[in-house]
Amino acid sequence: TEDTSQHPIVANSNHQTPLTASEGLPKELSPEQIENLETEKYTFQTEVSRLMHLIINSLYKTREIFLRELISNASDALDKIRFISLTDPEALKTKAGLGITIAADPERKTLVITDTGIGMTRQQLKENLGTIAKSGTSEFLAKMEQNNDAITQIGQFGVGFYSVFLVADKVTVASKSNDDPDQYIWMSTAVDDFTIAKDPRGNTLDRGTQITLYLKPDAYRFLQEKNLKELVHKYSQFITFPIMVWSSEEQEVPVSSTQAKKEDIDALLNDDELIEESIDQEPSSDEQTEKRLVYSWHHVNVQKPIWMRDPKDITDQEHKEFFKSVSREREDPLAWTHYKGEGEIEFRSILYIPSVVTDVFFNNIKNDQSNKPIKLFVKRVFISDEVELLPKWLSFLKGIVDADDMPLNVSRETLQKHRSLRIITRHLVKKALDMFSSLSKSDPEAYKKFLGQYSTILKYGAIEEQSYRKKITSLLRFASSFDTESFSSSLDDYIDRAKANQKSIFFMTGSNIGEIEQSPFIEALLARGYEIIYFTDPIDETFVENIPGYNGKMFVNIAKADIDFAEDDKDFDRDNELEAKYKPLTDWLIKTLDQHIEKAVVSRRLTTSPLAIITPKNGLSGHAQRVLDAQGVNHKNPNMEYIMESMRLQKKILEINPSHPVMETLLDYVEEDNITKDVETLIQLMYETTAIRSGFPLKDMTQFAGRVEGLIRKAVGVSISEEAKVRVKKAEEKTKEEKLADEELKKTNIVYETEEDDMEHDEL
């Protein structure tokens, strides 16, 4: 007969029956059974071996996470069988209820974790616990080699199971799947191979998995009931299945009943009524009683799932722990929103903002894969974490959605397209944006941290999603000429501070504030008292290209042509007059700088600089050009590359400052036909230095350097043809001995040895 005491997950197991310590533990394999096992041996995939060696030989502070990983795997396995049972009721046709038990055996120094989940067939044991299917493993290995704390992220990389070797040097996994008539047992002593055998105890599990950890001496503290219960509590509160820990309690019990009979226990575990009775039975007063330790299954996670509770009753600490348990992040979230959607469709959700963006998030975005950070439940039953519930630009959030009304027996693809999901998504986006907005008001420090991590992604969202564009844009913060330090101006602030009749939001892009402040373009606006937004994020150029304006004001790049100041600033007569006056100079400049510019015009914006180089309206600014160059034009489309290249070669517009003394003098020179070769060189140089100041890469650095040197020679009176007098000594040919020594070296493995290396060898 089967030993059902190993499946104590019945409707209510929180009964107090005096059982003995070993009653909660599974039968161990006897020495003969081990002797006669018909095992088959397999070698671990190399990555698994490497991982296990790293894990077993290292001293990690946070070893307790093995329990989190095992509980989470057990919970996944239970989710799977429950999900299958939605369409196939047969799947649950075993005696076992759904749940997890955890028991320590201080005598054998083992910890046993049992679940009644989906279980594994022989083949699955071999595949799941011997190879790593998911990508990113080598990345994780590298991380671990670098930094001990990386271990806590093990679950994110899909290799959580192997964390058992943090605390155990031998592990057995017994498992029974509905798809395999027999129960199998997997064993490993953390060396390079593992074995699988048919379990000689028979089908003790009914369905599910039982993991036995043979703890290393330095991990015995996990056997202490108090430690164990605390830990399980920490990692189990948010698991939707009951988790039972085998616990002892000192109790006054009738002397006669101290030894509970095995049959009684079995009956108890299978009959709810009997349990009720046994709880009701108080020891009668005239019966003899004594104090002794009684054992029972203690239900650790009795609370409702956090999202089903009243938001008012949930403490910050509970949210932080729930967040860590769903996301496997180490740090507390920056903020959260707990929401109950009613009306069209009823659902509950909690969304969290992680305090830092993970590498995984960006890797997925880069590879055009979606992050799916939301776990979907339907009426408390976990359905999937593969459904896209948030748009890409919000997929940095983490959380859960529990819907009341959703078809369950459909494929993920059908589910993904379901109307209810689209409605939920709309609500979630709105809730997320509200959360950001209230964070900006309630906690400016946290909001700053938030934007530091996510503003690039939000800008991407504003570009992608027209319907939320305005809202997202309103959440962004920038540096501006009003406040260059704090990056705290919103566009609304800018508009509040704008001048009368100002129709534009003036901005300039650059790689940093200092560079923008150096630029000649900003003078005219600052002199007139206009504020300029300083865009320093590489995505900003694309952002403003896609977003024409905000609240009725257009974005205007002050480094491009056509600046429209307020109407009253215009003086057409004066402009026309100056243009006519400077025509000889502008014509001459076009001729001289023909290689670089398409036209030269009289500037209305320059105040202190003599010249400025402007991009034609559809061209690339200096900053944009450098960003593109640095990225090596990361476009798959060859036409795009061609367009970029031609934009880069596009001729610029030269603006001259009519009030500048250098320009006035130059005009005289041209009018008097007094231009010498030297003046021509100087104007070339002036163009080149202006280009550098305006952030454009120079086309020909050698020519530029040549011109500067020429000027210096002239100033110090050295002829242009005079060469540097250098005395060089010719290198000598190799001697015969040296040639021989080289030949010898060729035969060895030595690559290159420095003196320091030699020293180390000597010391060793």
CB of 350 to ligand ATP, least distance (A): 21
CA–CA distances in Å: residue 689 to residues 518, 603, 656, 682, 685 = 12, 18, 14, 10, 6
- Whichever of 72 and 519 has its CB closer to ligand ATP, that residue is 72
CB of 87 to ligand ATP, least distance (A): 19
* Piece of 117-125, 139-147, 402-410, 508-516 that binds ligand ATP (CB under 6 A): 117-125
Residue 17 to residue 296: CA distance in whole angstroms? 6
CB of 208 to ligand ATP, least distance (A): 7
- Whichever of 132 and 558 has its CB closer to ligand ATP, that residue is 132
CB of 97 to ligand ATP, least distance (A): 16
* Piece of 138-146, 153-161, 461-469, 696-704 that binds ligand ATP (CB under 6 A): 153-161
Residue with tokens 């109307």: 419
* Piece of 158-166, 192-200, 527-535, 643-651 that binds ligand ATP (CB under 6 A): 158-166
- Which residues in the 692-751 window bind ligand ATP by CB under 6 A? none
Judge whether 387 and 403 are in contact, CB under 8 Å. no
CB of 115 to ligand ATP, least distance (A): 5
CA atoms within 13 A on the CB side of 150: 19
- Dihedral (C-alpha) 374, 242, 320, 164: value to the nearest 10 degrees? -90
CB of 125 to ligand ATP, least distance (A): 8
User: For residue 325, which of 233, 416, 259 has the smallest C-alpha distance?
Assistant: 233
| Token pair in block for residue 701 | 């650095």
Residue 476 to residue 440: CA distance in whole angstroms? 10
Q: How many residues bind ligand ATP (CB under 6 A)?
A: 18
Amino acid occupying residue 92: L
Q: Which residues contact 476 (CB under 8 A, 6 or more apart)?
A: 451, 455, 458, 459, 462, 490, 491
Q: What is the 3-state secondary structure (H, E, C) of 665-734?
A: HHHHHHHCCCCCHHHHHHHHHHHHHHHHHCCCCCCCHHHHHHHHHHHHHHHHCCCCCCCCCCCCCCCCCC
DSSP 8-state symbol, 366: H
Instruction: Give burial (CB, 10 Å; 0-12/13-18/19+) of 141.
Output: middle
Please, where are the H alpha helices in 498-582?
Answer: 513-518, 522-528, 540-546, 572-581
* Piece of 152-160, 247-255, 489-497, 737-745 that binds ligand ATP (CB under 6 A): 152-160
CA–CA distances in Å: residue 476 to residues 444, 508, 537 = 13, 16, 12
Phi first, then psi: give them for residue 211, nearest 5 degrees. -110, 125
Amino acid occupying residue 378: V
CB of 456 to ligand ATP, least distance (A): 27
- Whichever of 99 and 160 has its CB closer to ligand ATP, that residue is 160
CB of 511 to ligand ATP, least distance (A): 39
Q: Which of 24, 99, 117, 399 binds ligand ATP (CB under 6 A)?
A: 117
Residue 7 to residue 115: CA distance in whole angstroms? 9
Q: Which of 64, 105, 115, 402 binds ligand ATP (CB under 6 A)?
A: 115
- Whichever of 117 and 399 has its CB closer to ligand ATP, that residue is 117
Site string for ligand ATP, 537-576 (x = CB under 6 A): ----------------------------------------
- Which residues in the 125-144 window bind ligand ATP by CB under 6 A? 128-129
Residue 176 to residue 394: CA distance in whole angstroms? 40
- Whichever of 163 and 480 has its CB closer to ligand ATP, that residue is 163
CA–CA distances in Å: residue 66 to residues 69, 71, 466, 611 = 5, 9, 45, 66
- Whichever of 120 and 614 has its CB closer to ligand ATP, that residue is 120
Does 666 interact with ligand ATP (rule: CB under 6 A)?
no
Instruction: Give burial (CB, 10 Å; 0-12/13-18/19+) of 90.
Output: exposed
Q: Which of 120, 421, 627, 666 binds ligand ATP (CB under 6 A)?
A: 120
| Token pair in block for residue 124 | 């699955």
- Whichever of 72 and 456 has its CB closer to ligand ATP, that residue is 72
Q: Which residues of 219-363 form beta strands (DSSP E)? A: 243-254, 289-299, 335-341, 347-353
- Whichever of 236 and 586 has its CB closer to ligand ATP, that residue is 236
Residue 152 to residue 158: CA distance in whole angstroms? 12
CB of 42 to ligand ATP, least distance (A): 15
Site string for ligand ATP, 159-178 (x = CB under 6 A): xxx-----------------
- Whichever of 160 and 510 has its CB closer to ligand ATP, that residue is 160
Residues marked as binding for ATP?
A: 69, 73, 115, 120, 128, 134-136, 156-161, 209, 412
Residue with tokens 């630029």: 519
CB of 132 to ligand ATP, least distance (A): 7
CB of 468 to ligand ATP, least distance (A): 32
| Token pair in block for residue 712 | 């210096």
User: Residue number with the shortest CB distance to ligand ATP?
Assistant: 160
Residues marked as binding?
A: 69, 73, 115, 120, 128, 134-136, 156-161, 209, 412
- Whichever of 122 and 652 has its CB closer to ligand ATP, that residue is 122
Phi first, then psi: give them for residue 688, nearest 5 degrees. -65, -45
Phi first, then psi: give them for residue 718, nearest 5 degrees. -110, 135
- Whichever of 128 and 278 has its CB closer to ligand ATP, that residue is 128
Does 158 interact with ligand ATP (rule: CB under 6 A)?
yes
* Piece of 155-163, 258-266, 302-310, 415-423 that binds ligand ATP (CB under 6 A): 155-163
Residue 172 to residue 189: CA distance in whole angstroms? 9
* Piece of 157-165, 559-567, 673-681, 712-720 that binds ligand ATP (CB under 6 A): 157-165
Classify strands 208-215 and 168-176 as parallel, antiparallel or unpaired.
antiparallel
CB of 130 to ligand ATP, least distance (A): 10
Residue 187 to residue 143: CA distance in whole angstroms? 28
* Piece of 111-119, 142-150, 303-311, 611-619 that binds ligand ATP (CB under 6 A): 111-119
* Piece of 156-164, 220-228, 483-491, 737-745 that binds ligand ATP (CB under 6 A): 156-164
- Which residues in the 16-75 window bind ligand ATP by CB under 6 A? 69, 72-74
Residue with tokens 């231009």: 675
* Piece of 53-61, 114-122, 498-506, 683-691 that binds ligand ATP (CB under 6 A): 114-122
CB of 178 to ligand ATP, least distance (A): 12
Does 327 interact with ligand ATP (rule: CB under 6 A)?
no
Segment (H or E) for 440: helix 419-442
Tell me how many helices (H) and strands (E) the chain has: 27, 22
Q: Which of 97, 130, 155, 616 binds ligand ATP (CB under 6 A)?
A: 155
- Which residues in the 185-224 window bind ligand ATP by CB under 6 A? 209
Cβ neighbour number for residue 549 with a 10 Å cutoff: 15
Site string for ligand ATP, 76-95 (x = CB under 6 A): -x------------------
CB of 163 to ligand ATP, least distance (A): 8
Q: Which of 25, 104, 118, 472 binds ligand ATP (CB under 6 A)?
A: 118
* Piece of 41-49, 118-126, 583-591, 599-607 that binds ligand ATP (CB under 6 A): 118-126
Residues that bind ligand ATP (CB under 6 A): 69, 72-74, 77, 115, 117-120, 128-129, 155, 158-161, 209
